[in-house]
Amino acid sequence: MAADPLRSQDHRLNRLASEPDSGRVPGAEFFQTEADEIESLDATISEAQSELAEAVETATEVAAYEPEEDEKVTAAVIKKALKELIDDLGGSFGESATR
């Protein structure tokens, strides 16, 4: 006697429905390597952003840069300000210019 395909399907669905929900997405193990890599890259990006913010803050202090009222101080703004200071020192012969 042949097995009833519908009954077999119902049995599998009932078994799946009765299993406790683990809270995991099916197939999540398959993408775990990628998820770990994304998490690692996210941490690297966050660290780089923090270092950049600190460098911009330090350069702002060193250059004694005073931003305009609504100006956002970015790495590009500080780079330009530092370049202008270096260019100004180019024709000087003082102690700070010879360093």
pTM of the model: 0.51
User: pLDDT at position 39, please?
Assistant: 94
Q: Report the SS3 class of residue 71.
A: coil
**CA-to-CA distance for 75 and 81, rounded, in angstroms?**
10
Q: Report the SS3 class of residue 85.
A: helix
User: pLDDT at position 44, please?
Assistant: 96
- Per-domain residue ranges for the chain? 42-91
User: pLDDT at position 78, please?
Assistant: 85
Percent pLDDT > 70 in the chain is 64
Beta carbons within 10 angstroms of residue 80's beta carbon: 12
